[in-house]
Structure 1
């Protein structure tokens, strides 16, 4: 089902093919995959693609998997990316996403530990080339959510928000529904970070209205429960006849309780 709709752009580290790899997956139904331009910036670690977006405009995404051997190697990774964009003819990035293996703030670690300052500064310097920011943190400035759990010695557990999505100022107004979820916890040891990008000018539709599966209307037990709840509401309405209406005791409140049930 999915294979017929997905186009995968990927890169692996030829020296460590089983340890480092990065991929960006596109849906044929949503993206014109014939016009995608791909740049392998660092094999296995950084892949940049430019896709058609709207009104002859494009969207450039950088997918990264930063090294986790140590903070020196992590710092060198960001410095290498900075050099690549300063020296090569690479497109301006609208979005950076992936596993950074470093956090910018102590709040993004459950033990409030600060990461190596040199590595953090190297990441910040690279981000500044595109003026991208951590929009999940901007949306939830005080939340403590994490994407990776480390099990250490003596049954110690620490959590970190290693996986993040940075977007540019021009793109941020089109982003909605920032989430961190464990939807794919059976496939990976990281939680998923996601965001919906709308075409600029698209009306906001909200969460939409809940509807029930029509097949449920043929379930006799469910129908019996509906009838029971309806009778209870009707009895409440009858008992309220002649009583003084209050904010917490009125026909509208009975109907709201009925809908919630």
Structure 2
């Protein structure tokens, strides 16, 4: 199984999807998750017209401002996996999308793609809403949760090291516990430092 996380912010629209298509094709990725997609239904249709023979796109956009705010998507590679039984559940528009599909035509697979709020004061309710959603709906628990979390759970994931606000981190940990999820990367690399985001002041963090 091959999956990859990709953020599309900052790329020109004319080259973005050509690059994504090339990435999926050349690396033979089965599932690509995107955040900050800024896509409208019309744009999704246009992309399908260009690359629909090999890519299937599931997108969730901000209903009020789709081209300027958030957005999450799954890109499925039709050339390496069957997409006939694939479907998505929109949990929080533009911020949380659950994919259910089959892998190698038999094994079921569920993947949760999230784009958490940048504002720490909104993050606690975001993670709590996800936990409540699973309590209220008969959905499969995700085998994987990935995306842009916009926080870190451990000081080692920031440079210079520091803890984020405790309430959002606790809410995320409660969600992980309820869904039987762990930070697999950190579990496998308990002392490694590797960062996914850099600020203009040269601080680093692993928030993806």
Q: TM-score, normalised by structure 1?
A: 0.58
Asked if structure 1 preserves the Cα contact closer than 8 Å seen for 2:81 and 2:104, the reply is no
Query: Which residue of structure 1 lines up, in the alignment, with residue 175 of structure 2?
Result: 126
- Does structure 1 residue 6 correspond to structure 2 residue 51? no
Query: Which residue of structure 2 lines up, in the alignment, with residue 41 of structure 1?
Result: 91
- Does structure 1 residue 142 correspond to structure 2 residue 187? no
- Does structure 1 residue 72 correspond to structure 2 residue 121? yes
TM-superposed CA distance for 1:55, in Å, is: 6.4
Deviation track 1:174-232 (CA, whole Å, cap 9, x = no partner) reads xxxxxxxxxxxxxxxxxxxxxxxxxxxxxxxxxxxxxxxxxxxxxxxxxxxxxxxxxxx
**Alignment length (residue pairs):** 158
Q: Distance in 2 between matches of 1:80 and 1:130?
A: 13
Local SS of the residue matching 1:33: coil
- Does structure 1 residue 83 correspond to structure 2 residue 83? no
Structure 1 or 2, whichever has the larger Rg, is 1
- Once the two structures are overlaid, the 10-residue window that deviates more, 10-19 or 108-117, is 10-19
Bigger relative contact order, structure 1 or 2 (CA pairs below 8 A, ≥6 apart): 2
Match of 2:79 among 3, 25, 29: 29
Counterparts in 2 of 1:1-261, with a 5 A limit?
2=21, 3=51, 4-17=53-66, 18-54=68-104, 56-69=106-119, 71-151=120-200, 156-163=201-208
- Once the two structures are overlaid, the 10-residue window that deviates more, 15-24 or 77-86, is 15-24
In the superposition, relative to structure 1, how do residues 101 and 86 fare at CA in structure 2: closer, same or farther (>3 Å)?
same
Q: Distance in 2 between matches of 1:63 and 1:28?
A: 19
Structure 2 unpaired stretches of 5+ = 1-17, 22-50
Local SS of the residue matching 1:40: strand
Local SS of the residue matching 2:164: coil
TM-superposed CA distance for 1:54, in Å, is: 4.0
